[in-house]
Amino acid sequence: MLTVPVRQLGESERRAVERLLDLDPFAGAQVAERVAARGLAWWRADGRILGYGARRNLESICWLGGNLTPVLATEPAVAAFADQLGTEERICSSIVGRADAVLGLWDRLAAHWGPARDVRPNQPLLATDALPTVAADPAVRRVRGGEVDRLFPAAVAMYTEEVGVSPLVEDGGRGYRRRVADLVRAGRAYARFVDGKVVFKAELAVVTRRTAQVQGVWVAPEWRGRGIATPAMAAVVRDALVRVAPTVSLYVNDFNLPARRVYERCGFRPVGTLATVLF
């Protein structure tokens, strides 16, 4: 298969990158947020963007930072990105994006970057632009600045359960705590408190002009099976649509059937399939 060279993109190609990101606003949301906040200049970004295609016809991009995220990556682009990345030491903690591109990259990179700690090949990508028809839980609200200490243990429990490792392992959790505090300050963290403890939480982990992406959804183990998740999620979706973005999106593991039922009741519909490779 013939491929054209991969190149690192700079600020002069920002408009072309933004046009591509607009074509895939849900799967490319994390990259779109970073580009909007910091642009493409290497000295102020927390990663770099590789491009595939002629200079006047950018076809695909790939974000490389804490995560590796291909966007609109065709089969030739996947091959070209893998050829480039396979010559470099892995710096990312995961590969995440549209399933065909992620799994194609991993097929080519596994020999260089493996082994993976986990591969999740089928993660439904869901979105909604309609207010939920189910009643919202009035007790779910945005977390206040003075409540980070109460939220943080729930955030650690969610991360450990979802990712399989504790966020406290690296740097004692200081970086993760800063991330949680930043989301609280931005009005993007939600919780329901009972007797001062978090029984439900979720965050708008990614916000662009096109979508607010929900992550970190968690119900305290002792509250599971009691029917609080659907009205709680309805409250998050309602506030996000009214206050933040024209759509709300998220992705979920295919085997998490209880969560998928909750999202369906809240009006989410499938808009694709993601995959994640965890290191």
Q: What is the pLDDT of residues 57-69, one digit of tens each?
A: 899 999 999 999 9
Which two structure tokens, joined as six digits, stand for 154? 């729930």
Q: Where residue 55 falls among pLDDT bands split at 50, 70, 90? A: confident
Enumerate residues 6+ apart whose C-beta is below 8 A from 168: 156, 176
What pLDDT score does 56 carry? 80
Q: Which residues contact 53 (CB under 8 A, 6 or more apart)?
A: 4, 59, 60, 77
Confidence class for position 4, pLDDT limits 50, 70, 90: low
Q: What is the mean pLDDT of the chain?
A: 95
Quick one: what percent of the chain has pLDDT higher than 70?
97
Q: Give the CA count within 13 Å in the CB-facing half-sphere of 9.
A: 28
Three-class SS state of 202: strand
Mean pLDDT of 161-171: 90
The confidence score (pLDDT) of residue 137 equals 98
pTM over 0.85: yes
DSSP states along 203-221: EEEEE-SS-EEEEEEEE-G
Q: What is the pLDDT of residues 244-267, one digit of tens each?
A: 999 999 999 999 999 999 999 999
Each residue's pLDDT tens digit, 186-244: 999 999 999 999 999 999 999 999 999 999 999 999 999 999 999 999 999 999 999 99
For residues 7 and 50, the answer to whether their CB atoms sit within 8 Å is yes
Helix pair 29-38, 14-23: axis angle to 10 deg = 150
Question: What integer is the mean pLDDT of 126-140?
Answer: 98
